[in-house]
């Protein structure tokens, strides 16, 4: 990414794995995120539905005779990629099923997954009046060039263009730029390091406590 002051930088991150979230980051601060009170809201995930019509809870309760707790379990553990495909929550297996068996439901699950991610990118571009970079992370975001390409394919109208070779080569923890020169926003793959972030936050808390003691 070109050299821009933090205060003038907007970034959209897509953490894509069995759990998924999108975040709009302006001047280094998160101003919006796809997850709500619980992780269920937002993107389609491995077994979570993501966004849905609130009225569906009453509809399912009446149609299937399920309790609220059972519906909550259904939406958290039996929906998402697993529920749509009827096969698995593993994106690697779904891509293989689509490629080798031309499985209709596997393709549908992948298409919905990518569409919902693209939809959140569009929403956050509007919320922040554009972005300087889009960052893919998480198990799928870091390791699936095909999913990254399918998400970005519908965003060429805003100037996003992936570099095919760079995109294919960024897997297994490799960090870097995967968009073509001149793509705006630029697109990166940056592996998640949650343990390091937790350690840094812990150090900050300890030092802050010592300063006040």
Residue 159 forms part of a structural domain: yes
Q: What is the DSSP pairing of strand 186-189 with strand 176-177?
A: antiparallel
**CATH number of the structural domain spanning residue 85:** 3.30.420.40
Residue 18 forms part of a structural domain: yes
DSSP string, 117-161: HHHHHHHHHHHTT--SEEEEEHHHHHH-HHHHHHHHHTTGGGT--
Residue 80 forms part of a structural domain: yes
In whole angstroms, what is the distance from residue 121 CA to residue 125 CA? Answer: 6
Per-residue pLDDT of the chain (213 residues; tens, 9 = 90+): 556 677 889 999 999 999 999 999 999 999 999 999 999 999 999 999 999 999 999 999 999 999 999 999 999 999 999 999 999 999 999 999 999 999 999 999 999 999 999 999 999 999 999 999 999 999 999 999 999 999 999 899 999 999 999 999 999 989 999 999 999 999 999 999 888 888 988 988 988 877 876
Residue 65 forms part of a structural domain: no
Residue 67 forms part of a structural domain: no
Residue 68 forms part of a structural domain: no
Query: What domain count does the chain have?
Result: 1
Residue 141 forms part of a structural domain: yes
Among candidate residues 71, 41, 38, the one with its CA nearest the CA of residue 56: 71
The reported pTM is 0.91
Write out the residue range of the structural domain in which residue 184 sits: 6-50+76-212
User: With the C-alpha atoms ordered 19, 43, 95, 167, is the resulting torsion angle positive or negative?
Assistant: negative
Residue 56 forms part of a structural domain: no
């Amino acid at each position: 990414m070109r050299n821009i002051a933090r205060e003038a930088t907007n970034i959209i991150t897509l953490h894509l794995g069995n759990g998924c979230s999108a975040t709009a980051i302006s001047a280094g601060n998160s101003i919006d995120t796809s997850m709500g009170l619980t992780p269920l809201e937002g993107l389609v995930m491995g077994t979570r539905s993501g966004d849905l019509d609130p009225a569906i809870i009453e509809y399912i309760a009446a149609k299937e005779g399920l309790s609220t707790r059972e519906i909550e379990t259904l939406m958290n553990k039996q929906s998402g990629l697993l529920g749509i495909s009827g096969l698995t929550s593993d994106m690697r297996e779904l891509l293989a099923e689509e490629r080798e068996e031309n499985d209709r439901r596997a393709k549908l699950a992948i298409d919905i997954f990518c569409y919902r991610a693209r939809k959140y990118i569009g929403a956050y571009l509007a919320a922040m009046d554009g972005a300087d970079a889009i960052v893919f992370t998480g198990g799928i975001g870091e390791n699936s060039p095909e999913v990254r390409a399918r998400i970005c394919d519908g965003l060429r109208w805003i100037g996003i263009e992936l570099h095919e070779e760079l995109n294919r080569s960024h897997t297994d923890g490799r960090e870097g730029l995967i968009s073509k020169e001149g793509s705006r926003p630029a697109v990166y793959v940056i592996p998640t390091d949650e343990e390091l972030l937790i350690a840094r936050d812990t150090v900050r808390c300890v030092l802050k406590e010592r300063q006040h003691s």
